[in-house]
Structure 1
Amino acid sequence: MPLLQRLLSPIVEVRKEESAGVALMFAYSFLAMTGYNVLKPVTRSKFISTLGSDNLPYVLLVAGLIIGVLMTGYAWLIARLPRRSALSITQLGMAALLFGFWFLFQNPATWASVALYLFGSILGVLLISQFWTVANLVYDPRQAKRIFGFIGGGASLGGIAGSEILIRFTDRIGTNSMLLISGTLLVACSAIVWIIFQRTEAQPSPEAIVAGAKQKGVGVGEALRLLRTSNHLQIIALVISFAAVGAAIIEQQLNMAASASKGQGATDAITIFLAQVQRWTSIAGFVIQVWLTSKIHRYLGIGFALMVLPVSLGASAVIMLFNAGLWAPGFARVLDQSLRYTVDKTTREILFLPLAEDIKLKAKTFVDVTVDRNAKALGALLLLVLVKPWGLGLDWQRLSYASLSVMVLWIFMSIRARRGYLAAFRKSIERRDLQPSELRLNVADLSTVETLMQELASPEPARVIYAIDVLESLDKRNLVTPLLLYHEAPAVRERTLRALGAGAAE
């Protein structure tokens, strides 16, 4: 066994001919996210130092409005570049822009801080979509099941590494120099992507490259039609909206607290503080994803999972109301972000499960793009009213009252979402909307499994067989009771025997 395969085999099932490619993809994931996580706190600290934290909602609003235009320009550029080197060239271009920003900040200009913030907002989307575009081109579905978990783990480590670079070196070389480090890491990514495509015959099309990044929402008419079609989708849209607004409030509190505590002009100190929060967010997110997310859904169900994020929002709001320490908004941000991209993300996927196939894809696009962007824009407008002198002029602590208000509404809708999910799931079983072969193991939450167990007692043989099919696809065939071998319907007895036989063989 080659040395590289021996090193990887305890962590991931990898074959001899895959070893070098897997190592390169892991390095790509790690370096891309390290570069982005070096940049992200810098974009915040430079903006705060130049324009003040109370003006951040303005740029959030602008980012939501122009991101579609920027993505259209990205698509135009990709279509005119050589296919095999398009990604490498764009990454070199991103690195060149970071080097350009470093040059601009030698003589600070207000517009440069705004432009850097907007660039940082789009860079994360591009880097993530480009990585998964490469991964899906290089690996087929069977390889993906074995390899994607490992190569995706590089992103989590990159979040920690990028934060550590900022924490350890910002005091020594300054915030501006971090732009050079981030740009250099993107140059390394460009080289790795070029090597990967030299090793494979895959030819990335412009459409494939752009598809992951250029997410299109739906029009007003289509949105209204979707909402009229499903009451469950209406509830999902409201839950996602409250989540986006709650996250915006917490981020604003963090930025305002950093500015108030460190001083608006203390760019390096703000950078280091935001990097510390980012580091703990990455660590907490990794731990929650690996050890807690599946257990929460498996043993506590979707109802509990829906409550985790709004309750954490309310709890952190109470802490900030009664404690002016800088650790309080930092803790709130860590809690919000680490839960949002682990437990809450998986819960979103489960909520879509019972929707009819003819609207599920459009519904996800509607919620993930249209609803999310509109909610963020609404959150930015709300924050302007709350924090600006011409509005309520709240400081970062008193913004917690807004969080508590959002929490109450969010919890109410989460309770309705759980009830709606169970009702919609039962109806989807009746309609046979779920395709067992397309289900993923991470949708096997407690509420879903309990509903399927109830279906095993149905007097209709077709429903019993369908429930067995779905349980088997969720790797829950051990829950198929042997008592069904005595069912009056021969088809049920035959299907039960096959399920029990497959379970015994494992």
Structure 2
Amino acid sequence: MAEPSLRARLAGLFNVRPGEAPAVTAGLLLFFLLFTGYFMLRPVRETMGVAGGVDKLQWLFTATFVATLAGLPLFGWLASRVQRRRILPWTYGFFALNLLAFAAGLLSRPDDAWVGRVFYVWLSVFNMFSISLAWSTLADVFASDQAKRLFALMAGGASLGGLAGPVLGTLLVAPLGHAGLLALSAALLVGSAAAATWLQRWGERHPAPAETGGARRQALGGSPFAGATAVLRSPYLTGIALFVILLASTNTFLYFEQARMVAEHFPDRVRQTQVFGLIDTVVQTLAILTQVFLTGRITQKLGVGVLLVAVPLVVAAGFLWLALAPVFAVFVVVMVARRAGEYALVRPGREMLYTVMPAEQKYKAKSFIDTVVYRGGDAVSGWVKRGLDLLAEQPSLALFIGAALAVAWAAIGLGLGRAQRRREREAQDAKDRGTDRFAAPA
């Protein structure tokens, strides 16, 4: 027998079936270009936040929450009236125009703090909508059995983009300036939209089975706030919302410390962007290694709960360490561990919690939790952190409170892991009995 070709061996290695390779390549490009552009701008955003004043960050977090509330119904209105294959190109095109407008603003008024503040809020809203929409496109094009085989492979494009973006930002910020980085990111976003458009056309030529193929050609419909009622009715979803609030709160406490320490140690704005970019590079490298070699094996052997508990406990220990040794090197270690762990462990664990929920709640309730609840937690914790900084002469007080929040975060994660495992068993029992697990309300 002839030896299998290199293409066949690669297809077998990555579990890609005949005819799927072009679509997988398009999905990889969709995520790679999107995340490269976004992570290239993340250090710019952090620099803008520091430039506006560390004591003003709580206002930026509040403005981001308000902008999220305003953006949800606008996006819902668009999705209810536009064919689903056109939602992403139109939305990304609008965002690309925004980036070019910001680039022009930075060129004409480079030292205007308000330009930086508006950009900070805009990018914080942009990342939520753009990433969610990219996943919606993949869910429309690929059938369920394909998603199980291919989604993780295509998500590798996001991790690679998260690694390439900070490197590009660090190398190019000096020759191009912040305005140049924004213009380059706009071009990458247009490229991501082009990849998504090609992917949609591939889906038209290779339609999904009848039970999923029709939905891809329909508008999303419904209200973007419909998930709020489901969260209030379901203790399980309420637990996920509490988990997200505590996650956002601990992240905000560390984020404020990051802004304060970077502003103290690196007064030059270009140097600040380079420091933020270097941190992002280390984080993404560790996240990719963990995702590829550890996350799946940990989940298979120990369950979802471990993914939800391990990082919060590490963060709690990091807060205590930072309170006792408040130096920049310690902070970098804690921040890198927190962010790499969140990308590689916590986020996959959070997404797995929804696998035991009805389809409607996977979209509506999840959207509400990931946007309104998350940004609301950001806003409230931002004001709490600022109040502690004003009332307490010892900055370690906020760090001890952060450690307590992280312990509560771990406790909620432990409970959610057990609830997810219980629901999984109930679903399997219902399947064995031939009944519908999701026939009753969640």
| TM-score, normalising length: structure 2 | 0.81
- Show the counterpart of 1:392: 392
Instruction: Tell me how far 1:64 sits from its aligned partner.
Output: 1.4
What is the rounded CA distance, in whole Å, between the counterparts of 2:421 and 2:131 in structure 1? 32
Residues 436, 24 of structure 1: CA spacing in aligned structure 2 closer, same or farther, 3 A cutoff? farther
1:44 aligns with 2:54: no
1:434 aligns with 2:427: yes
Secondary structure (helix, strand or coil) at the match of 1:29 reads helix
What is the rounded CA distance, in whole Å, between the counterparts of 1:67 and 1:189 in structure 2? 23
- Contact 2:244 2:369 survives alignment (8 Å): yes
Greater alpha carbon shift after TM alignment, 149-158 vs 77-86: 77-86
1:156 aligns with 2:159: yes
Residues 152, 237 of structure 1: CA spacing in aligned structure 2 closer, same or farther, 3 A cutoff? closer
- CA deviations 1:297-328 (Å, max 9, x no partner) are 44445665443122211222233234344232
Instruction: Tell me how far 1:347 sits from its aligned partner.
Output: 3.9
- Contact 2:308 2:349 survives alignment (8 Å): yes
Letter in 1 for 2:418: Y
- Show the counterpart of 1:405: 404
- Show the counterpart of 1:282: 284
What is the rounded CA distance, in whole Å, between the counterparts of 1:2 and 1:99 in structure 2? 48
Secondary structure (helix, strand or coil) at the match of 1:434 reads helix
1:245 aligns with 2:249: yes
**Structure 2: stretches of 5+ with no match in the other structure:** 208-213, 438-442
Letter in 1 for 2:253: I
Secondary structure (helix, strand or coil) at the match of 1:14 reads coil
Instruction: Tell me how far 1:362 sits from its aligned partner.
Output: 7.9
What is the rounded CA distance, in whole Å, between the counterparts of 1:321 and 1:56 in structure 2? 21
Instruction: Tell me how far 1:45 sits from its aligned partner.
Output: 0.8
What is the rounded CA distance, in whole Å, between the counterparts of 2:192 and 2:363 in structure 1? 32
Bigger radius of gyration: 1
- Show the counterpart of 1:98: 99
- Percent identity reads 24
Letter in 2 for 1:207: A
- Show the counterpart of 1:171: 174
- Contact 2:37 2:186 survives alignment (8 Å): yes
- CA deviations 1:227-282 (Å, max 9, x no partner) are xxx4x66655544432221111111111221111112xx22111111111111221
- Show the counterpart of 2:89: 88
What is the rounded CA distance, in whole Å, between the counterparts of 1:93 and 1:141 in structure 2? 30
Letter in 2 for 1:155: A
Instruction: Tell me how far 1:392 sits from its aligned partner.
Output: 3.4
What is the rounded CA distance, in whole Å, between the counterparts of 1:4 and 1:97 in structure 2? 43
Residue correspondences, number: 421
What is the rounded CA distance, in whole Å, between the counterparts of 2:411 and 2:139 in structure 1? 39
Q: 1:421 aligns with which of 409, 418, 421?
A: 418
- Contact 1:321 1:400 survives alignment (8 Å): yes
- Contact 1:36 1:123 survives alignment (8 Å): no
1:333 aligns with 2:332: no
- Show the counterpart of 1:58: 59
- Show the counterpart of 1:459: none
**Structure 1: stretches of 5+ with no match in the other structure:** 439-464, 471-506
- Show the counterpart of 1:444: none
- Show the counterpart of 1:268: 270
- CA deviations 1:10-29 (Å, max 9, x no partner) are 64233443332322221121
What is the rounded CA distance, in whole Å, between the counterparts of 1:337 and 1:259 in structure 2? 20
- Contact 1:71 1:214 survives alignment (8 Å): yes
Kindly indicate whether structure 1 or structure 2 has the higher relative contact order, using CA contacts under 8 Å at least 6 residues apart: 2
Residues 25, 293 of structure 1: CA spacing in aligned structure 2 closer, same or farther, 3 A cutoff? closer
What is the rounded CA distance, in whole Å, between the counterparts of 2:361 and 2:195 in structure 1? 39
- CA deviations 1:141-179 (Å, max 9, x no partner) are 233233222212111000000011012222333233211
Instruction: Tell me how far 1:103 sits from its aligned partner.
Output: 0.7
Letter in 1 for 2:257: Q
Instruction: Tell me how far 1:31 sits from its aligned partner.
Output: 0.8
Q: 1:184 aligns with which of 177, 187, 193?
A: 187
Residues 103, 145 of structure 1: CA spacing in aligned structure 2 closer, same or farther, 3 A cutoff? same
- Show the counterpart of 2:263: 259
What is the correspondence of 1:446-461 to structure 2 with a 5 Å cutoff?
none
Secondary structure (helix, strand or coil) at the match of 1:250 reads helix
Q: What root-mean-square deviation, in Å, do the aligned CA atoms of Structure 1 and Structure 2 show?
A: 3.8
What is the rounded CA distance, in whole Å, between the counterparts of 2:341 and 2:133 in structure 1? 25
- Contact 1:163 1:278 survives alignment (8 Å): yes
Residues 30, 311 of structure 1: CA spacing in aligned structure 2 closer, same or farther, 3 A cutoff? same
- Show the counterpart of 1:129: 132
- Show the counterpart of 1:461: none
Residues 272, 198 of structure 1: CA spacing in aligned structure 2 closer, same or farther, 3 A cutoff? same
- Contact 1:354 1:433 survives alignment (8 Å): no
Residues 361, 42 of structure 1: CA spacing in aligned structure 2 closer, same or farther, 3 A cutoff? closer
| TM-score, normalising length: structure 1 | 0.71
- Show the counterpart of 1:480: none
